[in-house]
Structure 1
Amino acid sequence: MIIETERLLLRPFNEQDVDALYLMNSNPAMLKYIPTAPFTDREQARELFHNVILQDYQQRGFGRWAVEHKADNRVIGFCGPKFIPEFNEVEIGYRYFPEYWGKGIGTEAAEAALSVFPQFGIKQTIALILEGNLGSETVAKRVGMYWREHSEFMGHKINVYAKIL
Structure 2
Amino acid sequence: MQIPTISTPRLTLRAPEARDFPAFAAFYASERAKFVGGPATEEQSWRMLATELGHWPLRGYGRWAVEETATEKLAGIIGLWNPNGWPEPELGWDLMNGFEGKGYATEAALAAREYAYGTLGWTTTISLVAPANDGSRAVAKRMGATFEGMFEHERHGTLEIWRHPSSEDLTDGGMEAYA
Structure 2 contact 66–74 (Cα < 8 Å) conserved: yes
Following superposition, the deviation at residue 2 of structure 1 comes to 2.7
Structure 2-normalised TM-score?
Answer: 0.81
Partner of 1:158: 159
Partner of 1:93: 92
Structure 1 contact 9–68 (Cα < 8 Å) conserved: yes
Determine helix, strand or coil for the equivalent of 2:62: coil
Following superposition, the deviation at residue 151 of structure 1 comes to 2.5
Give the 5 Å matches for 1:120-131. 120-131=120-131
Distance 1:110 1:78 in 2: 10
Q: Which runs of 4+ in 1 moved over 6 A?
A: none
Structure 1 contact 24–77 (Cα < 8 Å) conserved: no
Q: Could you say which structure has the higher strand fraction?
A: 1
Structure 1 contact 80–113 (Cα < 8 Å) conserved: yes
Q: How many aligned residue pairs are there?
A: 161
**Runs of 5+ unmatched residues, structure 1:** none
- Structure scoring higher RCO (CA < 8 A, sep ≥ 6) equals 1
Determine helix, strand or coil for the equivalent of 2:125: strand
Higher mean alpha-carbon deviation, 15-24 vs 58-67, is at 15-24
The alignment-based identity, stated in percent, is 31
Q: Which amino acid in 2 is paired with 1:97?
A: M
Structure 2 contact 27–97 (Cα < 8 Å) conserved: no
Partner of 2:69: 70
Distance 1:155 1:17 in 2: 24
**Runs of 5+ unmatched residues, structure 2:** 168-179
CA RMSD in angstroms, aligned pairs only: 1.8
CA deviations 1:110-151 (Å, max 9, x no partner) are 111111113134332111100021111111111121111023
Give the 5 Å matches for 1:1-165. 1-28=4-31, 30-34=32-36, 36-41=37-42, 43-50=43-50, 52-118=51-117, 119-153=119-153, 154-163=155-164, 164-165=166-167
Determine helix, strand or coil for the equivalent of 2:30: coil
